[in-house]
């Protein structure tokens, strides 16, 4: 017994262990945050490579590079890898790094489970990736895994299902940890309505995760039993219904897209006030809007299924409910704009990405509103218009803010400044190319080009070529991001960064009161002073 | 700072990675088995052994730490929150299957029978014109052949009484723990665990009857699918709950737990009441209605 106590008493004096074992066995929130972020970055390039294959095939009409089956595997795997391997883990990485430091906690509430969350994620994604090399190829039914199509998958089917299970367990554990940390580990005086908005958005995101990941697990379990154990959940001959799967999937899927966007909002709400040198406008309205968006996300799922054959009352209800989301989202856009209004703004790389996010996410939001209109959705459904829409909400929103967050926090984490000139170059290359990449897809979709096909009519050739050129520039410029990140971690620009890194950042959050680079253990005793700038 | 004041943060953890390996190997084995590969069952057994060993090791570690006073009240709150939200995720998992039962009974089967003015009518007219929508149903294709539905007032009702009684004895044991009555604690837990395993045995008997006398199988259309998935996952959860309570019983017998410090007892009891409530839902929606 005494050994345990002794280990406990002096563990604060220990630095990290040496070698690979440090990463395998770590319980430190900063280590685990780093693991998540590095893994997410790696998967960003894996998923990105798949996107490049897709755009290369679509560069010209006709079949050039890959087999149609493999093309469909690429669209499916690109989506799954980006959603579950890149975007979600990157935000969990931020959450691990920042939430304890933002609320004055010594670590996450359940450190051992934190370790397990990460390694389960790796196991899940590796199993998913291994399906690429299996007989019958990787799943090729789209990331929604709709039956009956998905049941025609070869050997990959049970692996894909179990991979979803592992990813689900990982996400639920991570979410439970975040909720317990936020509710139980705040420093004295850090009341809920004093928490930084990043912490708030993650709290809500964690609720969404716990509520919907089991639903996805249940849905794929039914796919498995339909495929291997003679059940009839999605088979009309036995009294089931393939549409049932769509309902269950989108009951998970719609909150899932907010799981990827709410932390994005959180990072934006953290960065914009610092570079506008003003407190965040409408803090409590931002909190309420986040809660409202999360609530609405549970009651709008069938807007993904307007063309499936629903009773008219259903079409109308889901149309109106979906349009309601524009209100809390509008509140957020307005508040970010109002935060910048008459601010003493400077345009460092994180701020550039944030401003681009506000503008381009608004665009993605508006196309969402267009598709919320059920009668119009009959035109847009399953075309490149929807592809353009959700990529605007994911790439110049989620990915931009992940990269903004990396630029913003890397100096705090590493003690090194990134190269501002290269950062801005990366921003301008990304911001311009992402529009060349996705904006023409609106036109393609409106003209009727369907999504998830390797070939298309010649009338779509010009815009596809432009889109592909944008894709290659965008993909290439992310290598610059990789270079900047590695360089920053190694030595940065060489100049010593101050504790607050950004001018007056101390007013905006506890994390800036800590030294740069951050020590291995922080806030082993709770901090006394709580900044109130953002209220 | 003394151990009691500080929030306990372990310096490193060796069990979680082993848990991951165990789970992954089990599932990879299961997937291989489903694909007809002979290595599947071997991997499954190997993975399960790793996983069970991990559970034993990890829980022993936690029990040792808990008994040596490593966890302060704040750590206890984290554990309780963790268990609470875990149970919430389980509720959402069961909600999927209850929701599917509701959807098929109220929408998909009636639509296949031609109800409503929407797409259902045409499907019925052109594909299944002789199909009458009734419940229980194995669909217009009569998938799985003739079957009889499971009755309500035989074994299922007995099982309801058993599970409800076990909830009472569990609470009785908790009162014993709180009033430092060790005898009541251990007896209460023994009865609870006994009733739990009795429930699972009767459930197995019910499945045997379903397969051999009623012609009711997992492949009996949507009725068989929903019946076996709901009761099967519930039964699996009863097993897990009974195993949890068995470890609590073992630790009580070893003299662990005090009226102030018994998180594991509470967690297992919450879980037990959760499977109890799910069963009531099953009894009403699967067996009675």
The Cα–Cα gap between A395 and B102 comes to 38
Region B155-179 average pLDDT? 96
The Cα–Cα gap between B212 and A202 comes to 51
C-alpha B278: how far from its chain's center? Answer: 9
The Cα–Cα gap between A88 and A82 comes to 8
From the list B86, B104, B108, which residue is nearest A176 (CB)? Answer: B86
What tokens appear for A411 in the block? Answer: 């100096």
Flag whether residue B225 sits within 8 Å of chain A, measured between CB atoms: yes
Please identify which of the residues A31, A226, A256, A348 carries the catalytic annotation.
A256
Give pLDDT, residue A6: 36
Q: Please state which CATH number belongs to domain A30-513.
A: 1.20.210.10
Cis peptide bond prior to A267, omega within 30° of 0 = no
Flag whether residue B61 sits within 8 Å of chain A, measured between CB atoms: no
Task: Pick the residue from chain A with its C-alpha nearest to B37.
Answer: A155
Give pLDDT, residue A529: 62
* CB < 8 Å to B223, chain A: 239
Region A347-352 average pLDDT? 97
Name the residue with higher pLDDT: A535 or B265.
Answer: B265
Residue A10 has pLDDT above 60, yes or no: no
CB atoms within 10 A of CB A337: 15
Please say if A332 is a catalytic residue.
yes
Nearest to A481 by CA among A45, A77, A46, A92: A45
The Cα–Cα gap between B244 and B196 comes to 11
B196-238 pLDDT, tens digit per residue, is: 999 999 999 999 999 999 999 999 999 999 999 999 999 999 9
CB distance A520 to A11 below 8 Å: no
Give pLDDT, residue A448: 94
B23-36 pLDDT, tens digit per residue, is: 999 999 999 999 99
Please say if A170 is a catalytic residue.
yes
Q: What are the structural domains of chain B?
A: 1-71 (1.10.287), 73-288 (1.20.120.80)
Please identify which of the residues A131, A170, A398, A488 carries the catalytic annotation.
A170
As a whole number of Å, the CA-based R_g of chain B is 23
Name the residue with higher pLDDT: A8 or A472.
Answer: A472
A442-462 pLDDT, tens digit per residue, is: 999 999 999 999 999 999 999
What tokens appear for A188 in the block? Answer: 């004295």
Residue A105 has pLDDT above 50, yes or no: yes
Give pLDDT, residue A11: 44
Contacts with B38 (C-beta within 8 Å, 6 or more apart), sequence order:
none
From the list B58, B97, B141, which residue is nearest A218 (CB)? Answer: B97
Please identify which of the residues A107, A226, A348, A511 carries the catalytic annotation.
A107
Please say if A186 is a catalytic residue.
no
Q: Do A238 and B141 touch (CB under 8 A)?
A: yes
Q: At what angle do helices A156-184 and A111-130 cross, to 10 degrees?
A: 160
How high does pLDDT run on average in chain A? 93
Q: Do B35 and A155 touch (CB under 8 A)?
A: yes
Flag whether residue B110 sits within 8 Å of chain A, measured between CB atoms: no
Residue A424 has pLDDT above 60, yes or no: yes
According to DSSP, residue A192 is labeled G
What tokens appear for A246 in the block? Answer: 């769509």
Please say if A171 is a catalytic residue.
yes
Please say if A513 is a catalytic residue.
no
Beta carbon pairs, A and B, within 8 Å: 236
Flag whether residue B144 sits within 8 Å of chain A, measured between CB atoms: yes
What tokens appear for A362 in the block? Answer: 């608004």
pTM: 0.95
CA of B47 to nearest chain A CA: how many angstroms apart? 14
Region B122-139 average pLDDT? 85
Give pLDDT, residue A533: 52
Task: Parse chain A into domains and list their residue ranges.
Answer: 30-513
Residue B253 has pLDDT above 90, yes or no: yes
Cis peptide bond prior to A249, omega within 30° of 0 = no
The Cα–Cα gap between B248 and A172 comes to 25
Give pLDDT, residue A512: 93
A216-267 pLDDT, tens digit per residue, is: 999 999 999 999 999 999 999 999 999 999 999 999 999 999 999 999 999 9
C-alpha A527: how far from its chain's center? Answer: 31
The C-alpha angle A483, A489, A495, rounded to 5 degrees, equals 105
The Cα–Cα gap between A244 and B106 comes to 12
The Cα–Cα gap between B28 and B48 comes to 11
CA of B30 to nearest chain A CA: how many angstroms apart? 8
* CB < 8 Å to B107, chain A: 241
According to DSSP, residue A500 is labeled S
Residue A163 has pLDDT above 50, yes or no: yes
Name the residue with higher pLDDT: A55 or A18.
Answer: A55
Interface test with B, best of A161, A238, A245, A253 (most B CBs within 10 A): A238
Structure confidence at residue A17 as a pLDDT band (50, 70, 90): confident
Give pLDDT, residue A9: 41
* CB < 8 Å to A222, chain B: 96, 100, 229
């Amino acid at each position: 017994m005494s050994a345990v106590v002794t280990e406990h008493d002096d563990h604060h004096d220990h630095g990290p262990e040496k070698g690979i074992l440090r990463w395998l066995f770590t319980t430190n929130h900063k280590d685990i945050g780093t693991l998540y972020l590095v893994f997410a970055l790696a998967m960003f390039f894996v998923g990105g490579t798949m996107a490049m294959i897709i755009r290369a095939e679509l560069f010209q009409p006709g079949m050039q590079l890959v087999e149609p089956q493999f093309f469909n595997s690429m669209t499916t795997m690109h989506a799954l890898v980006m959603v579950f391997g890149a975007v979600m883990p990157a935000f969990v990485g931020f959450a691990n790094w920042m939430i304890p430091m933002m609320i004055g906690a010594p670590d996450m509430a359940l450190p051992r489970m934190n370790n397990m969350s990460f390694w389960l994620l790796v196991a899940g994604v590796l199993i998913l990736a291994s399906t690429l090399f299996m007989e019958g190829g990787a799943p090729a039914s789209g990331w929604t895994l709709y039956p009956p199509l998905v049941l025609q998958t070869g050997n990959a089917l049970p692996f894909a299902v179990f991979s979803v299970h592992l990813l689900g367990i990982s996400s639920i554990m991570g979410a439970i940890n975040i909720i317990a940390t936020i509710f139980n580990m705040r420093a004295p005086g850090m009341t809920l309505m004093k928490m930084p908005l990043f912490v708030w958005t993650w709290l809500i995101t964690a609720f969404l995760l716990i509520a919907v990941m089991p639903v996805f697990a249940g849905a794929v379990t039914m796919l498995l039993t339909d495929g291997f154990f003679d059940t009839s959940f999605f088979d009309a001959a036995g009294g089931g219904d393939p549409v049932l799967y769509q309902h269950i999937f989108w009951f998970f899927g719609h909150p899932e897209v907010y799981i990827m966007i709410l932390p994005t909002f959180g990072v934006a709400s953290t960065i914009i006030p610092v570079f506008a040198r003003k407190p965040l406008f409408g803090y409590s309205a931002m909190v309420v809007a986040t809660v409202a968006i999360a609530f609405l996300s549970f009651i709008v799922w069938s807007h993904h299924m307007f063309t499936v054959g629903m009773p008219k009352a259903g079409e109308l209800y889901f149309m109106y409910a979906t349009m309601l989301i524009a209100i809390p989202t509008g509140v957020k856009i307005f508040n970010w704009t109002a935060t910048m209004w008459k601010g003493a703004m400077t345009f460092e790389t994180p701020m550039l990405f944030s401003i681009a996010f506000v503008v381009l996410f608004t665009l993605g939001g508006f196309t969402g509103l267009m598709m919320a209109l059920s009668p119009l959705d009959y035109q847009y459904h399953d075309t490149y218009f929807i592809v353009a829409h959700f990529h605007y909400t994911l790439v110049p929103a989620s990915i931009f803010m992940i990269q903004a967050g990396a630029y913003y926090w890397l100096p705090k984490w590493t003690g090194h400044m990134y190269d501002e000139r290269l950062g801005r170059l990366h921003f301008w290359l990304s911001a311009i190319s992402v529009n060349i990449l996705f904006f023409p897809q609106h036109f393609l979709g409106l003209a009727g080009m369907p999504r998830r096909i390797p070939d298309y009519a010649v009338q779509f050739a010009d815009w596809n070529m432009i889109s592909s050129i944008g894709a290659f520039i965008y993909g290439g410029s992310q290598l610059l991001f990789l270079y900047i990140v590695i360089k920053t971690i190694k030595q940065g620009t060489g100049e010593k960064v101050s504790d607050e890194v950004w001018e007056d950042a101390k007013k905006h959050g506890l994390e800036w009161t800590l030294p740069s680079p951050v020590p291995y253990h922080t806030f082993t005793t709770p901090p006394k002073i709580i900044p109130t700038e953002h209220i | 700072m003394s151990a009691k004041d500080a929030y306990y943060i372990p310096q490193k953890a060796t069990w979680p990675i082993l848990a991951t390996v165990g789970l992954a190997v089990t599932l990879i084995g299961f997937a291989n088995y489903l694909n007809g590969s002979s290595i599947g069952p071997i991997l499954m057994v190997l993975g399960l052994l790793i996983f069970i060993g991990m559970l034993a090791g990890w829980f022993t570690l936690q029990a040792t730490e808990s008994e040596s006073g490593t966890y302060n009240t704040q750590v206890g709150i984290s554990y309780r929150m963790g268990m609470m939200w875990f149970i919430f995720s389980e509720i959402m998992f069961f909600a999927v299957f209850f929701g599917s039962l509701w959807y098929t009974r109220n929408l998909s089967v009636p639509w296949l029978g031609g109800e409503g003015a929407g797409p259902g009518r045409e499907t019925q007219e052109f594909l299944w014109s002789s199909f009458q929508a009734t419940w229980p149903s194995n669909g217009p294709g009569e998938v799985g052949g003739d079957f009889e539905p499971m009755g309500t007032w035989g074994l299922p009702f007995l099982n309801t009484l058993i599970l409800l009684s076990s909830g009472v004895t569990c609470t009785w044991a908790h009162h014993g723990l709180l009033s430092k009555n060790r005898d009541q604690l251990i007896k209460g837990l023994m009865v609870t665990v006994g009733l739990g395993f009795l429930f699972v045995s009767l459930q197995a008997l019910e499945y045997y009857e379903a397969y051999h006398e009623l012609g009711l199988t997992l492949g009996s259309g949507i009725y068989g699918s929903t019946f076996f998935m709901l009761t099967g996952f519930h039964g699996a959860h009863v097993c897990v709950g009974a195993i949890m309570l068995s470890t609590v019983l073992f630790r009580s017998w070893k003299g662990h737990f005090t009226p102030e410090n018994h998180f594991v007892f509470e967690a297992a009891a919450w879980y037990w009441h959760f499977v109890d409530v799910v069963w009531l839902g099953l009894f009403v929606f699967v067996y009675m209605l």
